[in-house]
Structure 1
Amino acid sequence: MAGLQDDCFKIGDDLMPFDEGLRVLKDRARIVVGTETVSLRNAFGRVLAEDITAPRDVPPHDNSAVDGYAVRYADLLDGTDTRLPVSARIAAGHPLGRPSEAGEAVQIFTGAPVPEGMDTVFMQEDVSLDGDTVILPPGIKQGANRRKRGEDVFAGDVVIKAGSVLRAQEIGLAASLGLGTLKVYSRLRCAIFSTGDEVVDPEFDQAGAGAIFDANRYAISALLKGLGCEVTDLGILPDRVAEIRSALHDAYPGHDLIITSGGVSLGEEDHITHVVQSLGSIDFWRLAIKPGRPMALGKIVDTAFVGLPGNPVAAMVTFMRIARPLILALSGRTAMDPHVYRIPAAFAMNKKAGRREWLRANLQTDVNGVTCVHKHPSQGSGILTSMVASDGLVELPEDLVRVNEGDMVDFLPFVEMTS
């Protein structure tokens, strides 16, 4: 495991625009995971650690796109039928084994290699047979129904770049090149915990007077797994500095990232702040955002630390928009920005200038067939039902002060920020 530089997350004390903070984060974060070789069967969702250069052409030979008859275009008569003897039958995987000769046709099947010298294939439904002779109508174009060697990939092409997430299509392409294994980055090892005497685990505990169930640890764990991380659940730690310090000290050697929610402000009961500072460093990111404050980034020795806000919606939103790009950078991913879609607003509202805001929203199609984005009526940072009822976030820039119905706004689907 590689460590982070001492001042990786330090950005100063002034409020910083969101885009600038994100740029600083991307510029300073670096890959902290190692590499390993995995089989294609185990490569789905992994991050490629080196460029894939094609070792061969795909397809490796000219081949037929249809069932039919292959010929030399030069043998065809102009404006009238051509009669050619059928000298061979070629199925996929069974090449002719010799160059073609002038004046012959071969029966050929989809995917079969086109013999050397032949350049045009007639579909079988367009021709007729007279014994061992095929009758070919006029009007076909030279090269018809022939897939050329290297039509998809030429040997030496870089076909998949390092830092790409391997989806089904990348795995299929690698297989078409004859690659049975791929070099990938190891999974980012993340530890997550909650603190608070009032927090209880919904899986094991009952909620007594003054208690709340721990929603954040389960939600953030799910988000981490969606990004391909290995997650260690450290459970809930009591509000006792010694126990928190011991848990963090024991966790950092085996993890690339430690993440929590709540407890990172400057209050007397914000024990996480003091413990992290004593074990490494902590920097408060004073970003002009809503929801999202307070949030902290830092290190425990040389292991990255992220302290998310305590309110569950704020914790999830800041994870998606700030922690996610950090995690992807640490993991070796190159594409870190979600796709943003411009969609007309089906709501109106005033907004405070000078800060980035995210609204929970869902998509609906109006009577004219136009997809519009609707703001959820409850935007409080503790309203988890608003996340469940929404399809994503509307992102409003710092300089915007008013949204009118019909205005085009930026919409980020949750699916873009959870993988």
Structure 2
Amino acid sequence: MISVEEAFSRIVGDVKPLTTEKLPVAETSGRVLAAPLPARRSQPGADMSAMDGYAVRNTDLGGKEPAALKRIGESAAGAPFTGKLGAGEAVRIFTGAIVPEGADQVVIQENATEDKGTVYTREAPSPRANIRGKGQDFLERQVVLDAGTFLTPKSIGLAASAGYAHLMVYRAPKIAILSTGDELAAPDQKSFKAHETVNSTAPQLAALFKDAGAVVLPPMQAGDTLKDLKTAIAKTADADILVTIGGASVGEKDLIQQALSESGMKLDFWKVAMRPGKPLIHGHMGDRHVLGLPGNPVSAFVCALLFVRPLIDALMGRPAPMPSGVMLPLAAGLPENGSRQHYMRAQLTGEPGSRHIAPAAEQDSSLLTVLAQSDGLIVRAPDAPAAKAGDLVPFLPF
């Protein structure tokens, strides 16, 4: 049995990003840029007016003495003035319009009046006032986003502005989820027998993985026979990650490790010093990552949170540190911990700025009601001493 830290290192530590793919820029949120992005244009592409007003030569302005300038045209955002501004002249200009040649200041319209083609202003000379210079945001060929950038709506806007309709990003991993067990029933069947268990874990994990940006393949289910399991495993060849649920313990019906091994998996480890989630299988089938999760729904969720989601991050080129949580005070005391690292479901209490964490009274790994009502996990290190209310402990929100 290995520690949580060692298990994490073996699963995630040396993982390299997947191959790249080209996607429409609007579809890249949550992805990682695979190559530097040099701007294909300058922004702005020319000197632009930052305000509505009049483009003038600042040498024509008299400050306290009113200046009378001849209006010779108009410059709009989509229709620039094509002439040249001379002495004693002004051009009506609008926000986002190109500043005409010869002009070096924009007088805002509130500080000017116009009558019969003459513009009157008492504006003081202020070179470059209300002008956004060419390339003020970025220049053509300037790298606006580095390789490895985690793309968000704000960076997507920058990429589009730099002239990119498509971006090269690391591919999202494809995940196959294989639920195992003769007792599993579909959530929507008309009635349930006492021995049946609704397969709640597969949709729960599918949602977790999709939220992390992975592509989840159609769900699969197999009974407790080697033939069924190996037949299902053979259908997951296109997956980057194979996640199995159940059958990872030591019972006579726990056949998933044997089925995986006979299907070509090279076992890395089995069993982690944690609770819930001790019977965790990790191995590889060629380039395919294999994680065999326990059957109890809370155990599977905790293992997926700690190991599979960071693996998804690493495969997509994102930072994937071991989830460690934040330090928060306990709302109630806890007894000393045993030899396995314990992940305890808990709720946040109190107002923002004075939050405490209250451990759930029931920690049985089958209780989905407790999981659904929790805000995260208290992390108790192996052999941690008893803790009292107010003590700071690591809290992993989800």
Scaled by the length of structure 2, the TM-score of the pair is 0.85
| Bigger Cα displacement from structure 2, 353-362 vs 276-285 | 353-362
The residue number in structure 1 matching 2:55 is 70
Whether the 8 Å contact between 1:258 and 1:303 is mirrored in structure 2 is yes
Distance 2:122 2:245 in 1: 74
Whether the 8 Å contact between 2:63 and 2:125 is mirrored in structure 1 is no
**Deviation, structure 1 residue 24:** 4.6
Identity %: 35
When residues 150 and 217 of structure 1 are mapped into structure 2, their CA distance, relative to the original with a 3 A threshold, is same
When residues 409 and 147 of structure 1 are mapped into structure 2, their CA distance, relative to the original with a 3 A threshold, is farther
Whether the 8 Å contact between 1:63 and 1:111 is mirrored in structure 2 is yes
Q: Structure 1: which 5+ residue stretches go unaligned?
A: 1-12, 415-419
Whether the 8 Å contact between 2:61 and 2:125 is mirrored in structure 1 is no
Say which of 312, 317, 321 aligns to 1:327: 312
The residue number in structure 2 matching 1:277 is 261
The residue number in structure 1 matching 2:200 is 215
Distance 1:199 1:64 in 2: 67
Q: Is structure 2 residue 281 aligned with structure 1 residue 296?
A: yes
The residue number in structure 1 matching 2:179 is 194
Q: Is structure 2 residue 355 aligned with structure 1 residue 372?
A: yes
The 5 A counterparts of 1:242-253 are 242-252=227-237
The residue number in structure 2 matching 1:312 is 297
The residue number in structure 2 matching 1:381 is 365
When residues 121 and 350 of structure 1 are mapped into structure 2, their CA distance, relative to the original with a 3 A threshold, is farther
When residues 57 and 246 of structure 1 are mapped into structure 2, their CA distance, relative to the original with a 3 A threshold, is same
Distance 2:393 2:79 in 1: 57
The residue number in structure 2 matching 1:16 is 3
The residue number in structure 2 matching 1:10 is none
**Deviation, structure 1 residue 202:** 1.4
When residues 344 and 102 of structure 1 are mapped into structure 2, their CA distance, relative to the original with a 3 A threshold, is farther
Say which of 154, 158, 161 aligns to 2:143: 158
**Deviation, structure 1 residue 30:** 2.1
Whether the 8 Å contact between 1:266 and 1:273 is mirrored in structure 2 is no
Q: Is structure 2 residue 244 aligned with structure 1 residue 260?
A: yes
Corresponding residue SS for 2:235: helix
- What do the CA deviations read for 1:142-191 (whole angstroms, capped 9, x no partner)? 43322222232222333334454543333322221222222334442221
Distance 2:191 2:28 in 1: 41
When residues 349 and 55 of structure 1 are mapped into structure 2, their CA distance, relative to the original with a 3 A threshold, is same
Matched positions, count: 395
When residues 25 and 102 of structure 1 are mapped into structure 2, their CA distance, relative to the original with a 3 A threshold, is farther
- What do the CA deviations read for 1:335-366 (whole angstroms, capped 9, x no partner)? 33579656555444345387654443444553
- What do the CA deviations read for 1:205-249 (whole angstroms, capped 9, x no partner)? 642122211111111112222233332334321110121112212
Distance 1:220 1:299 in 2: 20
- What do the CA deviations read for 1:68-126 (whole angstroms, capped 9, x no partner)? 12233343335544433322211102222244334432211111122244333232123
Q: One-letter code of the match for 1:27?
A: G
When residues 87 and 257 of structure 1 are mapped into structure 2, their CA distance, relative to the original with a 3 A threshold, is same
When residues 301 and 267 of structure 1 are mapped into structure 2, their CA distance, relative to the original with a 3 A threshold, is farther
When residues 323 and 70 of structure 1 are mapped into structure 2, their CA distance, relative to the original with a 3 A threshold, is same
**Deviation, structure 1 residue 275:** 1.6
When residues 113 and 363 of structure 1 are mapped into structure 2, their CA distance, relative to the original with a 3 A threshold, is farther
Distance 1:355 1:63 in 2: 64
The residue number in structure 2 matching 1:127 is 112
- What do the CA deviations read for 1:42-81 (whole angstroms, capped 9, x no partner)? 4455554333221112222221222112233343335544
Q: Is structure 2 residue 69 aligned with structure 1 residue 84?
A: yes
Distance 1:169 1:286 in 2: 42
**Deviation, structure 1 residue 306:** 1.0
Whether the 8 Å contact between 1:201 and 1:236 is mirrored in structure 2 is no
**Deviation, structure 1 residue 141:** 4.9
Corresponding residue SS for 2:13: helix
Say which of 93, 108, 130 aligns to 1:108: 93
When residues 226 and 142 of structure 1 are mapped into structure 2, their CA distance, relative to the original with a 3 A threshold, is same
Distance 1:72 1:350 in 2: 78
When residues 77 and 343 of structure 1 are mapped into structure 2, their CA distance, relative to the original with a 3 A threshold, is farther
Distance 1:157 1:55 in 2: 8
Whether the 8 Å contact between 2:265 and 2:283 is mirrored in structure 1 is yes
Say which of 109, 118, 125 aligns to 2:103: 118
Corresponding residue SS for 2:247: coil
Distance 2:214 2:221 in 1: 20
When residues 249 and 143 of structure 1 are mapped into structure 2, their CA distance, relative to the original with a 3 A threshold, is same
